[in-house]
Structure 1
């Protein structure tokens, strides 16, 4: 195609005109950025705000050096301990760069309180949890604001204490009785984790779907689903670590296929529930907003509740028996009589969540500028200015092992410490504030009832695997080696 001289001249004349037309917009943008910067400086100066220590990035633009450090630790199953080493080196609160976004990493319980309760409305989770939406969608754990409030209102009645107590009376005892029949009575080695996973699958499905899957009655009937759940959650953890900007690096066909298995299972349950309501001709009470029949929406909401309910009990029970069977308890075995004091039972469950929490860190993104009363400066005691877009990454595992509060033996499993310690925001295994996990009572009921039932029938508990607890990540953290023990029956 040939341009004639007049056409070329016209094109050249229009370029400066286009630039000139854009100048007011550019100047306006610069003006407001300068005003915002001056306002931030004024607030910082007035409140005495200081920045926390800065991680010494090699890549100061994108912070990819930290990303690859975490990636290697994740692959080496050293992710949890790496975080602890970083806090020991840079302090309880420090800042890093994640693809140009400031990330404030902290193990300070006061900052957890600020983020989860005091300034709850200044923080959200929707944008930073967008890496695994194919599986999690827009469920309660992935949204904020009015969307979150609506979903919270819908699910909260299901976790009412009276409802959970009714569940225990109706079905939990039946499932635990089936579990007991699968535990060997000859003192041989048994891995309790697969059994606990099937138990939790039965209790969670009965609780949420109104119909138990009876996984304890058949070892292989739901194994494909359990394996798919495991792999799908692990892949989701990787994608959440990558974040929305780097999730394209996660190219795993098996993750997609396993997600499809999970989604198909949930779709079937949603379909059954809708059919049951239509058959019973259930209608919305007058004055109430009609519930949705959108199957995709219902699938996402159910997944956000079913997965923690399924994982919570199984992983907690596995961790509890792992700790209780350690050699240090050989001289003072945990007995049924001791657990039935209830206070000690609560202490065992609390200590299990403290030493091996399933949720190790939670991130929130600032959606409105705020000043924290602490977190800034080299010692973390100066005020800290958090601006819109900053990410607060709260590391619960490190908080739960802080020797300044829990003592020099903070890494050890010692339920007796709870007799004199009264933590507040130092202990947040289920989060805190308005977004605290509503299912913690359900997990406690399942774990407590199962532990008491098992130890009532067996006199001894021995570890048959002395390898240390090793992290295995999915949506939660569990022990790679699970819980290989021997349960010794009473002699008479």
Structure 2
């Protein structure tokens, strides 16, 4: 049977003009050596750098830009690509040929539950239909909510000393608290107030569960990331700490879900434009569509993961780049003052004028290009299909993929390719986005 399947695959590949991708060297027996290499890079927090190093090694070996290759991981052949045409195929033109795969679902569902980012097919379509209306502009443009948490962050930074500076701070930590606080208020109707809880003068009445949530959510994500590196063997990583993390996270969200289902969710009203307007809370809105507590928990945790870490990472890298590029900082500062006013004479900040501030958008886009907030991702084929490019000696032929083949892809690597972005691909130059269209080109 295996021989027949292999013969059929070869015949299909030849009929489609497909050729295979090059193999990454020295993966070791069953790919164990390669797994150790990946896990070591992850432990040293060098995983994105490792992805670039692998591609550069393959390019050096083959004497050309190798953007697609395969490797062995615990006996499993996995393809890797940083080719935009292949990404387009998986995420757009051949979207129906790919799923998330059981490894990703099985790994993530332990923490996040059954939500949109662990679902395929009908489940994904159902979640998308449920969630999409909740992210209309009027729902996500409540800048008053964000302003409150920004002010809390400014208090956490501390007072300006006589020399004109504050004391030394870890701004990344403050950004992670900022996005957690604003995200939990948007999702649950009230914030965990992690920023306030860490202040020496805090007299918050928050419960122990709320205080523990941030730590356990972060720890659970770290364990989830380690499991990812094991592919289909993700279940081998399931220590006691991870189980406890998930228990605390689930209890925290369940508390708010149960309040919502009983109609006791805290949805204080606020004044807006002279009229009483009900504060928008995602949990309350979703509760009108489903009464299943596990579905509500799953969707909320999926959205929290997507909205919290990505935004805080973007903010951290954004300021990192501004500090290292003073000419960009000065230009952006001048643009912001012209558009939004100075501290002493501020003008209204709206969702619309934030989007229309071009140079600000260029700086954000350039930050996302160099420091992609999701550096790696992947899909698994659900039928026999192809990747448009990467096969053959010149890397220009399509690649045949049998059903149940994993393909990992990296925006981090793709965004630093000099053949795509020019010789200055490693440099922070926001002006490169002037006149550039977004989307597939």
TM over 0.5: yes
- Correspondence for 2:147 among 151, 167, 173: 173
Equivalent residue number for residue 98 of structure 1:
73
Q: Deviations over 1:125-172 (max 9, x none)?
A: 14121124321222211110101111111111111122212x22x422
Note the C-alpha offset of 1:366: 0.4
Pairing 1:334-345 to 2, within 5 Å after superposition: 334-339=331-336, 340=339, 342-345=357-360
Q: Distance in 1 between matches of 2:328 and 2:389?
A: 45
Number of matched pairs? 382
Instruction: Select 1:110's aligned residue among 74, 85, 110.
Output: 85
2:259 to 242, 257, 272: 272
Counterpart in the other structure of 1:133 = 109
Aligned counterparts of 1:303 and 1:393: Cα–Cα separation in 2: 24
CA contact (8 A) 1:192 1:318 kept: yes
Change (3 A) 1:143 1:97: same
SS of structure 2 residue aligned to 1:398: helix
For 1:13-412, list aligned pairs within 5 A: 30=1, 33-59=2-28, 62-90=30-58, 91-129=66-104, 130-165=106-141, 167-168=142-143, 170-183=144-157, 184-186=159-161, 187-188=165-166, 189-219=168-198, 223-248=211-236, 250-276=237-263, 291-326=289-324, 328-329=325-326, 333-339=330-336, 340=339, 342-412=357-427
Distance in 1, matches of 2:177 and 2:238, equals: 30
**Partners of 2:69 and 2:81 within 8 A in 1:** yes
Query: Would you say the 8 A contact 1:128–1:364 is kept in 2?
Result: no
8 Å CA contact 2:189–2:265 kept in 1: the answer is no
Match in the other structure for 1:13: none
CA displacement at 1:331 relative to structure 2 = 8.6
C-alpha deviation, 1:344, in angstroms = 0.7
* Unaligned segments of structure 2, at least 5 residues: 59-65, 200-205, 268-286, 340-355
Offset, 1:253: 2.3
Q: Do the aligned partners of 2:391 and 2:397 also contact (CA within 8 Å) in 1? A: yes
Q: How far apart, in 2, do the equivalents of 1:58 and 1:394 lie?
A: 19
The Cα shift of 1:213 comes to 3.1
Question: Normalising by the residue count of structure 1, what TM-score does the alignment of the two structures yield?
Answer: 0.72
Deviation at 1:349, TM superposition (A): 0.9
Describe the superposition over 1:26-70 as per-residue Cα deviations: whole angstroms up to 9, x where unpaired: xxxx3xx5554443223222222100111224535x211211111
The CA deviation string for residues 401-452 of structure 1, in whole angstroms up to 9 with x for no partner, is: 11112222212222122125445348xxxxxxxxxxxxxxxxxxxxxxxxxx
Partners of 2:146 and 2:328 in 1: CA distance: 32
Q: Identify unmatched segments of 5+ residues in structure 1.
A: 1-29, 281-288, 427-492
1:268 counterpart SS class? helix
Q: Is the 8 A contact 1:209 1:269 kept in 2?
A: yes
CA deviation after TM superposition for structure 1 residue 124, in Å? 0.5
Q: CA deviation at 1:246?
A: 4.5
Contact 2:130 2:289 (8 Å CA) reproduced: no
Q: Distance in 2 between the 1:97 and 1:416 partners?
A: 40
* TM-score for the superposition, normalised by structure 2: 0.80
Mapped to 2, the partners of 1:425 and 1:68 lie a distance apart of: 35
